[in-house]
Structure 1
Amino acid sequence: MKHEGAPQGSAVPQETANGTTESFDGFGRHRFGGLSGKLLLMTVLFVMLAEVFIYVPSIANFRNTWLMDRLTTAGVAASVLAETNTIAPRLQEELLSTTGALAIALDQGSQRSLIAMSDVPGEVDFVFNMAEGSPWTSIVSSFEILTYRGDGAMRVVGAGQMGHTERVDVVLPVALLQQDMLAFSGRILALSLVISVITASLVYITLRALFIRPLRQLTRSMERFAESPEDASRIMNVSGRRDELGDAEIRLAAMEEALSRALHQKQRLADLGLAVSKINHDLRNLLASAQLFLERLEHVPDPTVSRLAPKILATLDRAVGYTQAVMSYGKAQERAPQRRLLALRRVGDDVADVLGLVDHETVQFDNRVPEDIEIDADPEQIFRVLLNLVRNALQALEAEKDETLVRRITLVAERDGTCVKLQVSDTGPGIPGNIRNALFKAFHSGSKHGGIGLGLAIVAELLKAHGGTIYLDDAKPGTCFCLEVPDRTA
């Protein structure tokens, strides 16, 4: 997948608050302060930490081996000299020079012999019995030697030869062991650094190839997509990896695709809104002309015209109001309800008259609202609520082709204290399951007759302005919407 912008691994200079420029990588962070640099540093530190755990027993083992070598050398030489009874000064000097000791003595149980001594040893700061040492005491003694400051001596006691019962007692300068231990530590440190660098480099290169590069590709894909989310060609191409990063790529691509589709849909809806506003502007003018013609018909001396003209005129008034509401949709909320006490049954009858349900050939309208039920609501808004619900039911029933089906729309209402509960039900096929979760959201329609999905959204908005609610009752056959409208005092 090709990406625009700076090439991979290049630094992008950016100006800071004080006017200076700093180098940043593709993530917007410092090149060496980013994930790659931190990964390299942590690898080196962890390898060095592992080397520390290796070094501690190693230095203790080096100390023990060094002391045993001195004891063995001194023990062999002391045994030979003791058996030949020839302890010449020259031989003593050679033995002391070979072992680096200040004094060597041989303990044969009942007899203790001084084999060699250069000078009278000074103060003895350490006494080591090699037969009684433990790993922990060896480690502690090793670090005591490394941190020792002074010119003192140490006394080492142990068996000089394998299989012999003699014990060798050697007095050595502490500085001699300390120098060799420091040299050994330096070699261990140098080797550890080499191993750390090699290991860190291999881990760094591997992790960079496996993780850092794919992460940068994800970031660049997001940046490229953010430049033009509506462009579907900018959606990330999935590499097909079968790991966590592959899952991240799949989820990112799915999210970008959903976002691009949503933005494209919103743009289309915005264009549709503009077109609807233009159409409604002209439609309002046509309806106004129709109102003028109808006002002239009111003066015609005909009983039928006199009975129908007021209802047609009221319907045209509502139509003009609806066109005005569509033109202002999105610029403001619905106006606040201007509540009055209304005869709810009369409102239901008006809705039936407007929809032609009074003399409908196939659909029966059953208004079971009691005459004494009064509702505290805005006249126009509660009419729109019932009109949308009854019209949806009528469209669903008219779409049924089987003549044996019962097609009935029923209005039922009751007053419960300060709240009016109303049910609008029909004997239709019901609400499809795939739209129930978004039933009262705009532009979610289950209708197959060109509906745009605004009716129930408008109903929910108008009822919410009244402090009421609406929900779908799944327990009843067909479709049954339950409405609750509380009084103003509630």
Structure 2
Amino acid sequence: MSDTGSDRRADKGSLVTTEEGADAQPARRHVGLSAKLLVLTISFVMLSEILIFVPSVANFRNTWLADKLTTAGVAAAVLAETDVVSKALQARLLASTDAVAIALNDGPTRRLIAMSEMPPQVDRHIDMTGMNPSLAIWQAFDTLFNGEGRMIRLVGSAQMGTSGQIEIVMPEAPLRHEMLAFAGRILALSLVISVITASLVYISLRWLFVRPLQRLIANMARFAEAPEDPERRIVPSGRADEIGDAEVRLSAMQTTLGQTLHQQRRLADLGLAVSKINHDLRNLLASAQLFLERLETSPDPLARRLAPKIVSTLDRAVDYTRAVMAYGRAQEAPPKRRLVRLRAIVEDVGQVLGLVESAEIQWENRVAADMEVDADPEQIFRVLMNLCRNSVQALQGESNAAVVKRLVVEAERQGTVATIRVADTGPGVPERARAHLFRAFQGSARPGGTGLGLAIAAELVRAHGGTVVLEDTGVGATFRISLPDRPVDIAQARSEHARAARSARS
């Protein structure tokens, strides 16, 4: 009882810890997913606008310079027709182009079209005839950052039917001012477009993803407070996308987890009840053993013959109560393997179940007398006892006298593996019970059964490194147990063999 109480207190402590962990709130986030999404959306849209802004500024610069060349080309056409440009036309031409000098270069001849003053030193030369996009972008940013106070010489092809090239000497500051004004308008427009686009994208993504995720998170927190409450499980919204799939899977997981926790709680209560029953039952069995000691000295030969078997049965009953309690704590003792005669163990199983003298069920022990297995004798007895008891219960459920009721245990050995079969002619295992056949409280094939017998048998066989499976033979139910022998350490075996050989020679 003291061990059980401590285990119960440990379980209670772990439960409290779990509940406290469920109630604990996560650390408050300074920036939520929605804010991050909004900032990233605006940033990406602005980046896209910047990628558009760069060639736009370069194109504006090229257009502005081309307009100046076109205006100068008009004067060049007049000069080609009259060979003279009036002072008034020169003044208007210089004012419209912001130039200080305009010239026409036609092969070896270079003629001055207009000039307001002696041109100062030229700081930069711009040839529009060889302009390409990358060069235009580089020169545009150079003008934005370094164009104030510089004098440029602009060269381009003459138009308006005039051959040759137009040369314009002009300050770069007006171009820079126009480019800055254009850049400001583009950036303002880009910002407005970015905010509108980002807001629409943000609202859409929040409606499509963020809010459903917040619903999932809120449901998880609510479910964690009381996992066994079915009202706290999420109800899928029916969405036909990944969020809807996540809701369906979360609902299924919560249902399974709630059922598992409910089952674990019942198992914990069962473990406490079994520990109490075991305590009282052991006292009763101890009293029964005292009474049996008197039967051993009885003059009745039948009493003297049956008393040891009854004592052995009572001892096994005590062990069974311990085994059930150990199974509830998942602390089944490791097998103490010995080389045992399997036929004797099967015979004991038949004696305990009353099959040897039974007139209702035909009992056949087909295990050879020399059949040996490497196993724990008590645990292999429990395995066969559980399987044979299930068969007996299945056979006793049939009331028709014409039905054959037979239970057969047979075994064979192939190399280092012993195979045991427990077969009956009962109704067999229904299909609904096969999926969880060896799971406690889920694999029972009859109404009112717990399925503990098969679960314990499977656990004991696995502890031996073996397997137990249900074979489809078409008649009744046949369970096949495969028990491998313990692996042999070859190096140790060779060492012992060499040691024995040296001892024999000496």
TM-score range, shorter chain: 0.7 to 0.9
Name the counterpart of 2:445.
447
**Who is 1:266 aligned against?**
264
- 1:425·1:479 contact (CA, 8 Å) conserved in 2? yes
Higher share in helix: 2
Q: Where do 1:6-25 residues align within 5 Å?
A: none
Give the aligned residue type for 2:172. Answer: V
Long gaps (5+) in structure 2:
1-24, 489-506
Residue 105 in 1 paired to residue 97 in 2? no
Q: Does residue 22 of structure 2 align to residue 30 of structure 1?
A: no
Could you tell me which amino acid in structure 1 is paired with residue 201 of structure 2? Answer: V
The alignment partner of 1:441 has SS state of coil
The answer to whether the 8 A contact 1:375-1:487 is kept is: yes
TM-aligned CA distance change 1:352 to 1:172, over 3 Å: same
Secondary structure in structure 1 of the residue aligned to 2:56: helix
Residue of structure 1 aligned with 2:396, choices 374, 398, 402: 398
Deviation digits for residues 79-116 of structure 1 (CA, Å, limit 9, x no counterpart): 34664565454543332122111211245779653111
Moved more, 212-221 or 136-145: 136-145
In the alignment, what sits opposite 2:481?
Answer: 483
CA distance in 2, matches of 1:245, 1:376: 55
- 1:48 corresponding residue in structure 2: 46
| TM-score normalised by the chain length of structure 2 | 0.81
Match of 2:379 in 1: 381
Q: Which residue of 2 aligns with 1:470?
A: 468
8 Å CA contact retained: 1:230, 1:263: yes
Contact 2:386–2:454, Cα closer than 8 Å, also in 1:
yes
Distance 1:314 1:429 in 2: 32
- Compare 248-257 and 144-153 and name the one that shifted more: 144-153
Instruction: Specify the code of the residue in structure 1 equivalent to 2:153.
Output: M
**What residue is the counterpart of 1:57 in the other structure?**
55
How is 1:328-407 mapped onto 2 (pairs within 5 angstroms)? 328-331=326-329, 333-407=331-405
What is the identity, as a one-letter code, of the residue corresponding to 2:30? R
Instruction: Supply the AA of the counterpart residue of 2:277.
Output: I
- Secondary structure of the residue aligned to 1:169 is strand
Corresponding residue number in structure 2 for 1:16: none
- More displaced stretch, 140-149 vs 174-183: 140-149
Q: Is the 8 A contact 1:154 1:174 kept in 2?
A: no
- One-letter amino acid matched to 1:126: H
Which residue does 2:176 correspond to in 1?
Answer: 178
Aligned residue for 1:129?
128
**Displacement after TM superposition at 1:290 (Å):** 3.4
Which residue among 273, 276, 279 is the counterpart of 1:275?
273
Contact 1:102–1:171 (CA under 8 A) maintained in structure 2: yes
Q: What is the rounded CA distance, in whole Å, between the counterparts of 1:446 and 1:328 in structure 2?
A: 20
Kindly tell me: are residues 402 and 117 of structure 1, through their superposed partners in 2, closer, same or farther at Cα, counting changes over 3 Å?
farther
Determine the C-alpha separation between the residues in 1 that align with 2:286 and 2:368. Answer: 36
**What residue identity is the alignment partner of 1:370?**
A
Q: C-alpha deviations, 1:231-280, integer Å up to 9, x for none?
A: 22222233343432222222222221221121112112222232233333
Contact 2:126 2:152 in 1 (8 A): no
- Residue 406 to residue 164, structure 1, CA distance change in 2 (3 Å): farther
TM-score, normalised by the number of residues in structure 1: 0.83
Q: Are 2:315 and 1:314 aligned?
A: no
Deviations 1:154-178 (A, max 9, x none): 22222343x5557533233233323
SS across alignment from 1:127:
strand
Helix, strand or coil at the partner of 2:220: helix
- Verify the 8 A CA contact 2:374 2:486 in the aligned structure 1: yes
> 2:71 maps to which residue?
73
Equivalent-residue separation in structure 2 for 1:388 and 1:450 (angstroms): 16
Equivalent pairs: percent with the same residue?
A: 57
Contact 1:414 1:422 in 2 (8 A): yes
The one-letter code matched in structure 1 to 2:404 is V
In structure 2, the CA distance between the partners of 1:111 and 1:428, relative to structure 1 (3 Å rule), is: same
The aligned counterpart of 2:412 is: 414
Q: CA deviation at 1:351?
A: 0.9
* CA deviation profile, 1:264-317 (whole Å, cap 9, x unmatched): 121122222322333333333333333334443444443443443332332222
Report the alpha carbon displacement of residue 39 of structure 1 after superposing the two structures with TM.
Answer: 1.2
Residue 209 of structure 1 is matched in structure 2 by 207
Within 2, Cα distance between the matches of 1:416 and 1:458? Answer: 26
The answer to whether 1:323 aligns with 2:292 is no
Residues 256, 302 of structure 1: CA spacing in aligned structure 2 closer, same or farther, 3 A cutoff?
Answer: same
Q: Which residue of 2 aligns with 1:15?
A: none
How many residue pairs end up in the alignment? 462
Give the CA deviation at 1:397: 2.3
Aligned to 2:493: none
* Residues 110, 445 of structure 1: alpha-carbon distance in 2 compared, 3 angstrom cutoff: closer
| Distance in structure 1 (CA, Å) of the matches to 2:331 and 2:131 | 89
Mark the CA change 1:229 to 1:146 in structure 2 (over 3 Å): closer, same or farther: same
1:459 aligned to which of 450, 457, 460:
457
Consecutive unaligned residues of structure 1, counting only runs of 5 or more, are: 1-25
